[in-house]
Amino acid sequence: EAGVAQSPRYKIIEKRQSVAFWCNPISGHATLYWYQQILGQGPKLLIQFQNNGVVDDSQLPKDRFSAERLKGVDSTLKIQPAKLEDSAVYLCASSLWSGVTTGELFFGEGSRLTVL
Amino acid sequence: GQSLEQPSEVTAVEGAIVQINCTYQTSGFYGLSWYQQHDGGAPTFLSYNALDGLEETGRFSSFLSRSDSYGYLLLQELQMKDSASYFCAASGNTPLVFGKGTRLSVIA
C-alpha cells in the first residue's frame, strides 16, 4: 500500500513570497491533516479535513494560510505571504476515519520550508 | 486547552531499559498514542492506549492510567537504531495533540 505522498520535499523562499505544498493521502483514507513541526518541537495541527469538509481549523493562521481538499482526496496548503517564523516542516497525515478511536495517523515525509 | 508534558531528553545504554513518561491535560480524553520520529523522517505510530493498563508490542510497551492522566512508553533491549524522538499524543474532543517530544540517545 502506497504511503502518504508530499511534495516538494524542500522549499526555500524569501519572506513575503508565497508557497504551496501538496499532499496525496493513503487511498481510501477519509481524514486528512496538516501539521506544522518547528525544529525541536512536536507537530502542531493546522487543519483537519473529513472528506472535503473542514473539521477543525482553529489553529490555522487564516490571514496567511489556506488549505483545500476539493475532491476529498488530495490537498494543498498555501502560505501567502510567508514570514520568517513559518520556517518548519509541514507534515501531512491521513487516517481511515477520524483517528480518535485508534490514535493512529499515517504521516508523509513532510515538506521542509525555509523562509529567508 | 490541551497540553502534554514529557522529558526533553533521555540517554540510555544499549541493551538497557528506558521509560519515557507523559502527563496530559485533555478535555474529553479518549486515548494516548506514542510516535517515533528519526531525524528528518516522518513520525511513525508505535502504540495506542484507550484503557488503563499495559500494552505490549515486541520490545515496546505502553502504559496508561486515566485516573492519574499519565502514561509511559517502555523500551526494552535498547538498540542503537532506537535513537530518535518519541512523542506522546492525546486524542479527545479535538484532533490528535502532540507533546514536545523526548529525544532518546542510545549509547554503547
> Using the beta-carbon criterion (under 8 Å), do A91 and B42 form an inter-chain contact?
yes
Q: Is B87 on the interface with A (CB under 8 A)?
A: yes
The answer, yes or no, to whether residue A2 has pLDDT greater than 90, is no
Q: Is the pLDDT reported for residue A41 higher than 90?
A: yes
Distance in Å from the first CA to the final CA of chain A: 37
| Phi/psi at B67 (5° precision) | -70, -30
Number of C-alpha atoms within 13 angstroms, CB side, residue B65?
Answer: 9
β-pairing verdict for A111-115 and A10-13? parallel
Q: Are B95 and A99 a contacting pair at CB < 8 A?
A: yes
In the stretch 25-64 of chain B, residues with CB closer than 8 A to chain A read 30-33, 41-45, 48, 50
Nine-digit cell string for B74: 517502555
The closest CB to that of A42, out of B31, B45, B99, belongs to: B99
pLDDT category at B76 given cuts 50, 70, 90 is: very high
Please tell me if residue A91 touches chain B, with a CB cutoff of 8 Å: yes
Number of H helices and E strands in chain B, helices first, is 0, 11
pLDDT for res A51: 87
d(CA B62, CA B72): 6
**How confident is the model over A69-91, as pLDDT tens digits?**
988 899 999 999 999 999 999 99
Which is it for the CA torsion B79, B16, A107, B87, positive or negative? negative
What's the pLDDT at A4? Answer: 96
At B72, the pLDDT band (50, 70, 90 cuts) reads very high
Q: Which of A98, A103, A107 sits opposite B43 (nearest CB)?
A: A107
Residues of B in contact with A4 (CB under 8 A): 42
Largest CA distance in chain B: 42
pLDDT at A97: 75
Please check whether residue B18 is in contact with residue A79, taking contact to mean a CB–CB distance below 8 angstroms: no
Grid cell in block for residue B73: 512508553
